[in-house]
């Protein structure tokens, strides 16, 4: 009895046997199979194998292109070098409402090709400074804040910010406050800036 026909064909070397058995192959090539039937089978098998091989080639080409893209990206990042940080103008400390705590806002710019982390801040105005992020109406202390490659970290009201705690004194509007920012994976590792004390209701311009 002739086995049921099957269109399943696998590319050579794939390790999978065709669905049709040897008996079918003999039946197709026997005298009962006409020349037209054999020709149709060959075309179907050739088309399936060609498609499988073409698919494999496409996958291989995609892999090569993907590797090339990764190499280009890596080379581009390497060409830009490590994180390079600077603090832009516009930072300030709002005049604190309390005698022992104040906020501070600065913008850190990363012109390098790798991200960096702001890990701590020191200032003679406070015993210690904590880093905070705000999500919705919830403020949360975090161990570090990221400055993305080619991007910036903007500390401001309603978002990421610094909290100066246990103040040595309550600063007045017009005073200046030195802040030293400490980073990891960056050049330089520390940046010191002096920011003014602004009125409590101060809103920076865009």
Mean residue pLDDT across the chain: 75
Contact between 164 and 132 under an 8 Å Cβ cutoff? The reply is no
Residues 17-66: pLDDT tens digits? 444 444 444 444 444 445 455 444 444 433 443 343 344 444 343 433 34
This prediction's pTM: 0.61
Is the confidence at residue 80, as pLDDT, over 50?
yes
Residues 129-160: pLDDT tens digits? 999 999 888 999 999 999 999 999 999 998 99
56 is written with which tokens? Answer: 């494999």
* Cα–Cα dist 6/28, whole Å: 12
pLDDT at position 198: 97
């Amino acid at each position: 009895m002739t086995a049921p026909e099957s269109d399943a064909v696998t590319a050579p070397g794939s390790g999978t046997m065709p669905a049709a058995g040897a008996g079918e192959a003999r039946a197709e090539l026997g005298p009962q199979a006409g020349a037209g039937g054999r020709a149709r089978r060959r075309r179907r098998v050739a088309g399936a194998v060609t498609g499988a091989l073409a698919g494999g080639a496409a996958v291989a080409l995609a892999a090569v292109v993907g590797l090339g893209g990764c190499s280009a990206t890596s080379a581009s990042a390497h060409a830009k070098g490590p994180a390079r940080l600077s603090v832009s103008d516009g930072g300030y400390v709002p005049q604190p409402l309390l005698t022992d705590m104040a906020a501070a806002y600065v913008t850190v710019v990363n012109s390098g090709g790798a991200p960096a982390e702001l890990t701590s801040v020191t200032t003679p105005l406070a015993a210690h400074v904590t880093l905070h992020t705000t999500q919705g109406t919830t403020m949360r202390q975090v161990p570090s804040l990221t400055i993305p490659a080619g991007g910036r970290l903007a500390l401001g009201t309603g978002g990421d910010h610094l909290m100066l705690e246990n103040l040595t004194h309550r600063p007045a509007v017009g005073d200046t406050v030195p802040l030293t920012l400490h980073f990891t994976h960056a050049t330089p590792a520390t940046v010191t800036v002096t920011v003014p004390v602004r009125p409590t209701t101060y809103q920076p311009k865009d």
